[in-house]
Copies of this chain bind each other. A is one copy, B any other.
Amino acid sequence: MFNIDFQPIGRRGRCNAEESLLECARRLSVDIVSICGGVGTCSRCKVQIVSGEVSEPSAEERVGLSPREIEQNFRLACRTFPKSDLKVFVPPESLTAPQRTQVEGLEVAVKPEPPVQVLEVSAMPPSIDTPEADDSNLWTALARRYGIASGSIDFKVQQSLSPVLRDAGWNVRVALRDREIVALGPSWARWIGLAVDIGTTKIAVYLVDMETGKTLAAQGLMNPQISYGEDVVSRISAAGKSTANAVKLQTLLVEALNQASAQLCASIGAVPTDIVEAVVVGNTAIHHLFLGLPVRQLGVSPYVPAVRSAVDVKARDLGLRIAPGGYIHLLPNIAGYVGADHVAMLLATKLAEYRGTVLAMDIGTNTEICLNHNGTMNSVSCASGPAFEGAHIKYGMRAAPGSIEHARISGGKLAIQTIGNEPPVGICGSGLLDIVAQMRLHGILDPSGRMNPHPLVRERQGTKEFVVFERPGRDDITISQKDVRELQLAKAAIRLGIRALVEANGLTEESIDQVIIAGAFGTFIDIESAIAIGMLPSLPLPRFQQVGNAAGAGARMALVSRSQRRLACDLAARVGYIELAAIPDFGRKYAEASIMASSLG
């Protein structure tokens, strides 16, 4: 029996020499993707042996892995058996969606340099001979211990100053932001930060230790604004129609955040008033709706934001329940359709540090793409729509247990992998991409996206559909011709954005050295499938890199680092915005050419 340590998820257990790493992982609830069921044919269960001895690479692995991967100790978990204690790295793409989200919460690659400092001080109780006011008293103590000059004390902190000092016996913890005391508590007070990435469809919420930068807890939830429309355009229009709508759209978000942060806090034994600072990112429309900023001008040409600069606002002004004196920091926007979440993604991917021609994109309901070509950075925004979130797809669903997230056609049959290995209940974005790509690769779809006759294609009510999973006694899970069209529109929007960026730099897609794909969805997708359907340019696979929810990571970086906030402002000022609508004839020329004709691959 050997000790196996699965990283970065941090799960350990024992395994004998007869058990594959995949079997061992499953026993320890490490959810490694496996479409073929562990027979070595799907090549999705890649893991990297960090230390220790394992069995020699099998024939299946020599087919399914590149020589470079084998050289780097990448192995298929289903074909690999331990020969000693092991440390095994499971890359995000080999984990199923829920566990991947969990992992994403683990670390933020930035040195903490917190905008809110936590300081402990002991003040001297006043006496009739030294009747010093409580505020002066506190500043005197801060000056004595840390050499900090007097600043201001948030109005709400002032309101509790005297009882807190006395109840704590004059030994307190101070949360100092620039020169303002934003929270005050007894010496055992625990202060944490809140990072939020508000997507058009989903929201990711993180609690972070302000001193270490460590993520303490994370949670995903739906954006409740979805009741006002799946895309931001409908929400802008709703908010523009009446103040009541605008207020409701804001309140929905704030209430959802209050609820999520209360739950997250409870999970780590904290309370929301322990949160001394929050960072919120989102696209420009979401940013504006969250702040209650006017959005009408966002909806009409030239689509300008009301506010581009970074914003610091007291959480109480928005009704977000954190420490009464705490601020919400919002990263800057770049343009009407390239927002603070894009800036956060740029922070997390460190795109500005790359040399050569590098593309970074966050795929979602809106897809924002940035190209760094030898230091010149430009971004575009494409309305890719909610198909990747499962919307407008007959059996579409979000990445949740039971959703089909990967698929392969082999021997005329479709093999599927569901999240959590549950019985299939629907198809999530990455599954849709895989299935359509497999259909295209196996000739079931022609280049224009039309379905050809095939044993798995049938006709129902005059429409062709591809059978994904038969469920006796219930509707079969299928993909219709219309579903394929939805995906074509979504992928074409992204591809057009990429082309506009490279062409604006006088380049072709082939000159792209690297493609960084961010976003929960982007992390789950099979790059080969995405290339197969023409969503991504056909570049060698090693040029692609999937980095997970970068906007959420960027938000966490900005939460704990003043340098990252400055960098965000620099980036927002430096990154150019290319308005697709402003390119002469762009709409007609490309939309017609790309969407209608050579749509798939």
| Identity of the chain B residue whose Cβ is nearest the Cβ of A307 in the assembled complex | B135
Q: How far is the CA of A530 from the CA of B294 in the complex (A)?
A: 62
Interface residues of A in 154-183 (CB under 8 A from B): 155-156, 158-163, 166
Q: Does A227 contact B (CB under 8 A)?
A: no
User: Which A residues, 270 to 308, have Cβ-Cβ distances below 8 Å to chain B?
Assistant: 291-294, 296-297, 301-308
- Which B residues are CB-close (under 8 A) to A336? 131, 133
The answer to whether the Cβ of A120 comes within 8 Å of any Cβ in the partner chain is no
Pair A291/B582 contact, Cβ less than 8 Å:
no
Contacts A159-B291, A166-B297, A317-B155; A134 near B577 (Cβ below 8 A): no
Assess A158 versus B579: contact at CB under 8 Å? Given A306-B133, A309-B135.
no
A134 touches B307 (CB 8 A): yes
Q: Are A311 and B155 in contact (CB under 8 A)?
A: yes
- With an 8 A cutoff between CB atoms, is A349 at the interface? no
A131 touches B333 (CB 8 A): no
**Chain B nearest Cβ from A471, distance in angstroms:** 50
Contact B581 A293 (CB under 8 A): no
Chain B neighbourhood of A311, CB < 8 A: 152, 155, 158
Copies in the complex: 2
B contact residues around A162 at 8 Å (CB): 293-294, 296-297, 306
The residue from B152, B301, B308 contacting A128, defined by CB atoms under 8 A apart: B301
For residue A563, which residues in chain B have a CB less than 8 angstroms away from its CB?
A: none
Whether, in the assembled complex, A1 has its beta carbon less than 8 Å from a beta carbon of chain B, the answer is: no
Q: Which chain B residues lie closer than 8 Å to A314 at the CB level?
A: 155
Contact with B along A109-149 (1 / 0, CB 8 A): 00000000000000000111111111111000000000000
In the assembled complex, the Cα of A582 lies from the Cα of B131 at a distance in Å of: 10
Minimum Cβ distance to chain B for residue A128 (Å): 4
Docked pose: A302 CA to B313 CA in angstroms: 37
Q: Is A293's CB under 8 angstroms from B579's CB?
A: no
With a cutoff of 8 Å between Cβ atoms, the chain B residues found around residue A308 in the complex are: 132-133, 135-136
Closest to A294 in B: B162
CB-CB under 8 A for A305 and B134, given A291-B155, A293-B161: yes
A303 surroundings in chain B (CB, below 8 A): 131
User: In the complex, what residues of B have CB within 8 A of residue A133's CB?
Assistant: 304-309, 333, 335-336
A381 CB, min distance to chain B CBs, angstroms = 12
In the complex, the chain B residue whose C-beta lies closest to that of A166 is B297
A304-325: which residues lie under 8 A (CB-CB) from chain B? 304-309, 311-314, 316-317
Chain B positions within 8 Å of A579 at CB level: 128, 131
Closest chain-B Cβ to A242's Cβ sits at a distance in Å of 14
Whose C-beta in chain B lies nearest to the C-beta of A155? B313
Report which of B129, B131, B166, B294 forms a contact with A161, defined as CB distance below 8 A.
B294
Having A128-B582, A152-B311, A158-B306, one finds 10 other A-B pairs with CB under 8 Å, namely A131-B336, A131-B579, A133-B306, A135-B305, A135-B306, A136-B308, A150-B309, A152-B312, A158-B307, A161-B294
